[in-house]
């Protein structure tokens, strides 16, 4: 049975999803591209530190977007259920994030980095609600008053060091390559069926930005790292390309920018697809095939959601037995409908867990 997915990231991360199976079968020859990338990559320029690497990467991605477009707006950091229930904290997060664009435009790198760090913390809460126990934002959950200044102070010195260094490398090795019509946080036709948002499209170039530390050289623990190109990154680029069913963005090149290494790699779409497939590729036909895969996944998801909606739990004044209003409470004596209610609840929970 194929694994279900709701986002492109999940779809390419697991080899047993229908989309990943299609990509593996249609474009199996990824190793030559990976080997060439690894051979051309240089040494690590921005080593990680004590700050969480995932949060640093999310903050750098936000800082880059605000640098490229100071007017860029993004509400993802304030959409976590934990923040929606705490209006004071949510307003403070929004106020802090709103400082990133103007700060980047004014050359205030410190404020831009701190505001981007707040954005990353809020985004982590939205994408993974379970992360709230370890989130620095948790200390503000029960405070009656929170200011943007309180949140800007959360960025640790090591995170600010890394973000400053990553920004300096990007100014030299990334920004000169971005020109023409610039689009950030791009969604595609397929995004309406499977959540997917690309980092940057610039003049026909679809670019994925990564701040990964790469792979550690042997022996393990040597603290010597090298840049690599994981298969899921290539699959993610292919997914974005194939999700653009209407060819809205006229993508003719795909690329990766590895922020810690300053590696900027670009490939021609036609030549790369042919190399990965081992034969010439009809891009329109492949996009149509991916659309059918996404439609089938969406239809299956809708069917499972309908089942959950049909599994209703009877409501009554007595929360224990579920009897209709006016009927005697059956909790204290054996009665068939009580067991039916319990069975329906159990079935509902099972279906919900499978979604």
Q: How confident is the model at residue 117, as a pLDDT?
A: 97
pLDDT value for 301? 83
Per-domain residue ranges for the chain?
1-46+180-301, 52-155, 311-354
Q: Is 250:204 a contact under the CB 8 Å cutoff?
A: yes
Q: Which pTM value belongs to this model?
A: 0.82
pLDDT of residue 308: 54
> Which residues of the chain register pLDDT less than 70?
217-223, 306-342, 344, 351-355
């Amino acid at each position: 049975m194929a694994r279900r997915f709701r986002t492109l990231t999940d779809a390419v991360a697991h080899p047993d999803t229908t989309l990943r199976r299609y990509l593996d079968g249609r474009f199996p020859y990824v190793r030559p591209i990976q080997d060439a990338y690894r051979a051309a990559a240089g040494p690590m320029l921005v080593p990680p530190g004590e700050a969480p690497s995932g949060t640093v990467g999310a903050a750098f991605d936000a800082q880059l977007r605000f640098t490229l477009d100071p007017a860029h707006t993004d509400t993802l950091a304030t959409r976590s259920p934990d923040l929606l229930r705490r209006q004071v904290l949510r307003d403070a997060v929004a106020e802090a994030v709103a400082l990133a664009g103007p700060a980047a435009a004014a050359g205030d790198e410190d404020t831009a980095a701190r505001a981007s760090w707040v954005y990353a913390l809020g985004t982590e809460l939205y994408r993974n609600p379970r992360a709230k126990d370890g989130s620095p934002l948790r200390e503000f959950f029960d405070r009656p008053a929170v200011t943007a200044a309180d949140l800007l102070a959360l960025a640790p010195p090591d995170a600010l060091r890394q973000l400053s260094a990553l920004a300096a490398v990007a100014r030299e090795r990334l920004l000169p390559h971005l020109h023409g019509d610039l689009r950030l946080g791009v969604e595609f036709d397929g995004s309406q069926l499977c959540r997917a948002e690309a980092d940057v499209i610039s003049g026909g170039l679809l670019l994925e930005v990564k701040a990964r530390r790469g792979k550690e050289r042997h022996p393990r623990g040597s603290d010597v790292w090298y840049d690599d190109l994981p298969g899921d990154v290539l699959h993610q680029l292919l997914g974005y390309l194939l999700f653009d069913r209407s060819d809205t963005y006229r993508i003719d090149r795909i690329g990766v920018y590895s922020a810690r290494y300053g590696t900027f790699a670009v490939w021609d779409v036609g030549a790369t697809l042919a190399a990965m497939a081992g034969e010439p590729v009809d891009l329109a036909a492949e996009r149509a095939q991916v659309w059918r895969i996404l439609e089938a996944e969406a239809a299956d998801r809708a069917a499972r959601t309908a089942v959950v909606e049909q599994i209703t739990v009877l409501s009554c004044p007595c929360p224990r037995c579920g009897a209709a209003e006016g009927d005697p409470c059956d909790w204290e004596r054996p009665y068939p409908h009580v067991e039916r209610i319990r069975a329906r609840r159990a079935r509902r929970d099972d279906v919900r867990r499978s979604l």
